[in-house]
Amino acid sequence: MRAGDELPPLEIEITRTLIVAGAIASRDYQDVHHDAELARHRGSPDVFMNILTTNGLVGRYITDHFGPDAVLRKVAIRLGAPNYPGDTMVLTGRVEEVEGDTATVRVVGANGIGRHVTGTVTVTLPPGGAS
Per residue in 53-101, pLDDT (tens digit) is 999 999 999 999 999 999 999 999 999 999 999 999 999 999 999 999 9
Q: How confident is the model at residue 126 (pLDDT cuts 50, 70, 90)?
A: confident
Distances (CA, A) of 106 to 3, 8, 64, 109: 11, 13, 15, 10
The whole-angstrom separation of Cα 53 and Cα 78 is 13
Torsion of CA 105, 87, 68, 96, to 10 degrees: -10
| Percent of all residues in the chain with a pLDDT value above 70, rounded to a whole number | 97
Strands laid side by side in the 71-79 sheet: 6-14, 87-99, 102-111, 114-124, 71-79
Q: 5: alpha, beta or left, given left = phi > 0 and alpha = psi -120 to 50? A: beta
Phi, psi of 95 (to 5 degrees): -70, 120
